[in-house]
Amino acid sequence: MTDPKRPSIPRSVHDAAGAWLARRQAGADPDGERAFLAWLNADPRHRTAYDEATRAWRDSGLLADSKVGRSRKLVRAPFLMRRSTHVGAMSLGVAAILGVGTLAMVRHDGPFDLVSSADAATYRTIVGEIRIVRLEDGSTLTLDTSTLVRVRFTDDRRRLELAQGRARFGVAKDGRPFSVAVSGGEIMARQTVFDVSVVGAEPIVSAIEGDVALQKVGRNGSVATQLLAAGEESSMGAHAAPRARSLADARWVSGMVALDKTPLGSAIAALNRYNHRQVQLGDPALARLSVTGAFRAQNPQQFAQAIATMFGLAVDASHPDRLILQPSRKKSPAARK
């Protein structure tokens, strides 16, 4: 029976959704992500079709790796070979082969990218997106904006790689070790919660609950282990010492950029990661101003107006892709110092 509330989606839209899914799985592409976001927001049917495509792709992988799927020796065809194929039809075909009936299409709030077999997955967020993913072992991933995490589980270990961005890892109890690979080494954990960021010059690890072990690889190939207790953080630099973790930085999971005596230049860089419309400074001297407060990550206009009010600045909003903070005609705070 057809749902009267469900919009009719042309085949061309399903084909476009499949093509976008294939393109995004092929790798990070900033220009492509902007184009994808524009396509996604252009029509509610685009989001519905894309959500169905990602759901079908995920379900086909889970079915292929299920007990009945393995007994039938069902192998998934690479998705990149199906760029013009309606993914929903692919999923229904898998169901028919397995004899398990028609798959239900469930809308999700964001993309769910599953690649290869069920024990190897890639999770990616676009600009401005924060998403929680539950892994097969019960662990959770919270992905920050523009983040890419690869997951590979085997019978004897759980290994992840944070390729870009920032993520919070909630590690479930399991007999297998849990590790996150980053530039400079690996983070080892068991039944803990910790953040890892690869946004800056060196990866930074923050222990939130429980202890984590940092295995740092030096330039000469030597490996040194550093233990972090809950409430501590450290970079993956070979000689970096543990320090108290920033409580403000931990608020990113709520969609807030929290600042504590943060230089304005650094504050703007943190906010710009979440938005296509960028905040800029009309005077480089303003970057030294100290900012304290919490701001919605996806509202650059509100942030710019708040900063302007705080420091007596003016906001040039005449450009569609940027907001420029600059000294007003009155004496600027930088000049008053």
Domains and CATH numbers, the chain: 1-109 (no CATH), 119-243 (2.60.120.1440), 255-336 (3.55.50.30)
What strand order describes the sheet that includes 322-327? 278-281, 322-327, 313-319
One-letter amino acid at 15 equals D
Q: Given this model, what pLDDT does residue 11 score?
A: 80
Pick the residue with more confidence: 327 or 113? Answer: 327
Strands 158-164 and 178-182, bridge-based pairing: parallel
- Let me know how long the chain is: 337
What strand order describes the sheet that includes 178-182? 120-124, 148-153, 158-164, 178-182, 185-189, 212-217, 223-228
97 to 68, 100, 114, 214: CA distances (angstroms): 10, 8, 21, 46
* pTM: predicted TM-score of the whole model, two decimal places: 0.64
Confidence tier at 18 by pLDDT (50, 70, 90): confident
Q: What are 124-155's pLDDT values in tens digits?
A: 999 999 999 999 999 999 999 999 999 999 99
Q: What are 27-83's pLDDT values in tens digits?
A: 556 667 778 888 888 888 888 887 777 766 655 544 444 444 444 444 333 333 333
Residues with Cβ within 8 Å of 19's Cβ and at least 6 positions away in sequence, in order, are 83, 84
Could you give the 3-state DSSP secondary structure of residue 65? coil
Element housing 196 (H / E): strand 193-197
Pick the residue with more confidence: 282 or 2? Answer: 282
Pick the residue with more confidence: 299 or 50? Answer: 299
One-letter amino acid at 112 equals F
**Are 214 and 208 spatial neighbours (Cβ–Cβ below 8 Å)?**
no
